[in-house]
Structure formats: structure tokens, C-alpha cells
Amino acid sequence: LKPAAHALFKKLKDEELELLVQVVESQGAWESGCVLAPQGDPRGVKQGLPPQVLLCRLFRWPDLRQSHELKHLCYCTGGQGACEDLAVLCCNPHHFSRLAVPETPPPPYLKASCEHENQGMEPAVTLSRRKRLQHGMRGSCWGSSLCSPLPDTSLSWSTVKDGCWCKLAYWEYRTRVGCLYAVHEASVNVFCELPRGSGFCLAQLPATYRSCAVRRARGKIGRGLLLSREPGGVWAYNRSEHPIFVSSPTLSPPGACGLTVLKVLPGYSAKVFNYEWAGDRGGWQLPGEGPCDPHNIRISFAKGWGPCYSRQFITSCPCWLEVLLNQPR
């Protein structure tokens, strides 16, 4: 990939190359601007890779092959046609995620087996054209705000009529911590540690007591996830260094009796709710837990649950998020 990378770097403007250096060295610690590169013209480059695939292979996923494995993140404005210039395309490697696909289901959990966790992914290569910037940008959470308590403590979406598209509830086992967080923007960050940015900061939520298991799980949340409302549904992008586990009524095939829990690896995105499919679900029955709101997404940080895990129910997970959706207008 070296000749292809050098050929691409020569086409970038100085300010775009400098931005690329900052993004790669910080490992996408904050939302950055677009790095625009000219499309096409792979002459002299054996690989002939699109710019976004080339840089994502260099700095994030060496096993990446095709552009259809990638998804633009919601805050990227340099997607094809989005910036009103079809001749350029954003190639910022941290403006993309990989698309999560359902895994082959593991065998049902047995007491004698152990639960394995995937290690976080790290960029494999760094730029060599500019002086290295300092690593380890670990700041406190900025710009986070907490919602005011609601007079009605019900978690049903039908009680929420104030114009937001969803509300977030954070749980530790069976205990809800803090108040509901209303989301009015098209996307929201949910995190414990984020050098720059705003959103739902779990580190600011009060708690009188936390077990060792909860503290260990909270230590793995880090940058957390980006939740975005996009045409047709809701997407979750895993920004942390550990997997997240997601379930919703529309992740299960129509007529399925069992619970589908999707594992989303670091750097991956998944469409976790489909508005078109939600209308056909009616009441959502959770095995062992009874009926559940059909406009509801549940996300566990670092710990899986369900038939293939030692934890059968999400209320057995130390840290998890409930996303309460309003019906789209």
C-alpha cells in the first residue's frame, strides 16, 4: 500500500494532510473535519483502491477489502454528493465505521465453558510525513448536560410528548441511575470519557453504591457509542475499545420466538432499529421477562446476555442503556 498512500498524500492540500495527521495520531478521539481527496484516477497504482478504503486499511482495519464494508458516520459531510462536489470524497478514516453483520450463533452457554471477549482494535500504522503529535489525549468530559427529572417516571415512549426523538435511561443491573436524558439532535454521544465533545456523560450520574463488577464494566465504556437517527432507522456506532451488545424488536426475524442479541465490535456500526419493521411487531415478548415496549432498544456495555451467555437477561448486566423511541412523525 506504500506507493498508493504516497500518491494519495501528494494530492492532499497541506491543511488536509495536517488534519489527517491529527486524526490518526489522536485515534479519532473527537469529531474532526472531512479530509477531501479527488475520486478516481488510480493510474500508476496497482491496488487501485478508493481513497477511503486505502486509508481505512492503513490506519484502522488491515483486513478491509471493499468500500461496501464501510459506512459514513452521520457527522461526515464529505460523502459522495453530500458536499455538492462529486469530484471529491471524504477519506478521513475516522469518518467511517465497518458494518456489523450477525455472527454465526455460538452454542448455548454451558457452565463448563468460558465467555470470551474480543480485544479492542488499534490502528496498525501511523503517518511518516509529519512530526508525530503527542498521544494519550485523556481529558475530562466537556459540554455534558444532564436532563431534569420528569414528573412521570414511566419509561413508556407513549408518555414522552415533548418533541425529542428518543430518551435514554442508564441502568446498573436492575437499578436505574440518574434521570432520563432527552435527545433532540439527530445524534448523541453516550460515554464515560471523551476528550472533546458533548452528550450523555455517564460519569456525571450520581450513585450511592457501586459493586466491583459495575466499576469494572464502567471502566470499559470509555468513549462509549454514537447513537444516530438516520433515514429509516436508528444506528449505533461503537466508539469504545470493547464490544457492545444490542437487542431490539427489529433485530429479530419476523415470527422469531427467541431473543436476538447483536455483538458490535469496536469501530463497527449496526442498524439497531428499523422504523418500517416496527409496526408489524405488536407487543414484544422477551423470554423470561414478559412483554416489552416494541419501540425500545437495549444496549449492554462489554457484557453479553441471552441464551448463549451466562447472563440470561439484560438486568443481569452491570451497565446497560435503554433507548426509548418516539414514533416517527
Q: For the residues 108-130, what does the mean pLDDT come to?
A: 37
**Closest to 52 (Cα-Cα) out of 2, 122, 5:** 5
Q: Residue ranges per domain, the chain?
A: 1-98, 166-282+290-325
pLDDT-derived band at 121, boundaries 50, 70, 90:
very low
Structural element, H or E, at residue 26 = helix 14-26
Between 46 and 271, residue with greater pLDDT: 271
Q: What is the DSSP letter of 135?
A: -
Does the structure show a pLDDT above 80 at 80? no
Does the structure show a pLDDT above 60 at 282? no
CATH 2.60.200.10 assigned to 166-282+290-325: yes
Does the structure show a pLDDT above 80 at 231? yes
Q: For the residues 240-257, what does the mean pLDDT come to?
A: 84
Q: For the residues 165-194, what does the mean pLDDT come to?
A: 94
CA distance 162 to 56: 40
- The pairs formed by 202-206 with CB atoms below 8 angstroms and a separation of 24 or more are 202/170, 202/319, 203/141, 204/141, 204/144, 204/146, 205/146, 205/170, 205/177, 205/178, 206/177, 206/178
Domain at 1-98, CATH homologous superfamily: SMAD MH1 domain (3.90.520.10)
Q: Read off the pLDDT of residues 283-307 as tens digits, 9 standing for 90 and up.
A: 556 655 556 677 889 999 999 998 8
Q: Which three cell numbers stand for residue 62?
A: 488491515
Q: Read off the pLDDT of residues 5-54 as tens digits, 9 standing for 90 and up.
A: 889 999 898 999 999 999 999 888 888 889 988 876 544 444 578 899 99
Q: Tell me, yes or no, if the pTM score tops 0.85.
A: no
Q: Which of 56-65, 81-90, 266-275, 305-314 has the lowest mean pLDDT?
A: 81-90
pLDDT given for residue 54 in this prediction: 92
Does the structure show a pLDDT above 90 at 183? yes
The mean pLDDT of the chain is 77
Give the strand pairing for 199-201 and 187-191: parallel
Query: How far from 101 is each of 227, 261, 264, CA to CA, in Å?
Result: 18, 12, 8
